[in-house]
């Protein structure tokens, strides 16, 4: 199955895991194809503007990422990450879209994805007007 078909299949699913997988793909597309696993849940809440209507737990997130990785949409790798403002580090997982451009094209008609981008552009526009 090609990438467009994978995204289309996710958009057609109405189960909790499928909705979470699609939200993960949306978040990754918004943030240039990459995110830390520890930030994805909060980013989904930002994307939606509220807590989603499905369980948003670490266990569900791990299951969704396993499925997305096995389908070839994302890669997940353990990495060390700095702890700001301390000098410590910790293990986190870096999640990357395998083909950001293709995912963005596949999401071009997605209302949730477009809605988030539109809200962000409006916020930037208002901030620029306030500077003047």
Q: What is the mean pLDDT of residues 55-61?
A: 92
Residue 67: its pLDDT value, please? 96
Separation CA 32–CA 38 (nearest Å): 17
* Model confidence pLDDT, tens digit, residues 89-127: 889 999 999 999 999 999 999 999 999 999 998 989 888
* C-alpha of 33 from chain center: 8
Residue 19 has pLDDT above 90, yes or no: yes
Domain containing 72: what range?
3-131
Separation CA 31–CA 24 (nearest Å): 11
The CATH code of the domain that includes 88 is: 1.10.10.10
Residue bearing tokens 């526009």:
125
* C-alpha of 32 from chain center: 10
pTM: 0.90
Number of separate domains in the chain: 1
Six token digits for residue 30: 């918004």
Residue 14 has pLDDT above 80, yes or no: yes
Helix 3-12 and helix 16-30, axial crossing angle in degrees, nearest 10:
130
Contact 43, 31 (CB under 8 A): yes
Kindly report the number of other CB atoms within 10 A of residue 106's CB atom: 22
**Concatenated DSSP letters of 51-76:** --SS---HHHHHHHHHHHHHHTSEEE
Reference 24, options 3, 49, 48; nearest CA is 48
Residue 1: its pLDDT value, please? 65
């Amino acid at each position: 199955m090609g990438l467009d078909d994978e995204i289309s299949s996710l958009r057609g699913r109405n189960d909790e895991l499928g909705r979470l997988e699609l939200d993960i793909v949306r978040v990754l597309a918004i943030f240039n194809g990459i995110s830390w696993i520890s930030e994805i849940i909060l980013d989904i809440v930002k994307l939606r503007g509220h807590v989603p209507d499905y369980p948003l737990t670490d266990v569900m997130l791990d299951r969704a990422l396993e499925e997305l990785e096995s389908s070839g949409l994302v890669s997940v790798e353990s990495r060390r990450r700095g702890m700001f403002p301390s000098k410590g580090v910790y293990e986190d997982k870096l999640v990357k879209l395998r083909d950001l451009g293709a995912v963005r094209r596949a999401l071009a008609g997605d209302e949730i994805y477009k809605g988030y981008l539109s809200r962000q552009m409006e916020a930037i526009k208002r901030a620029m007007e306030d500077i003047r």
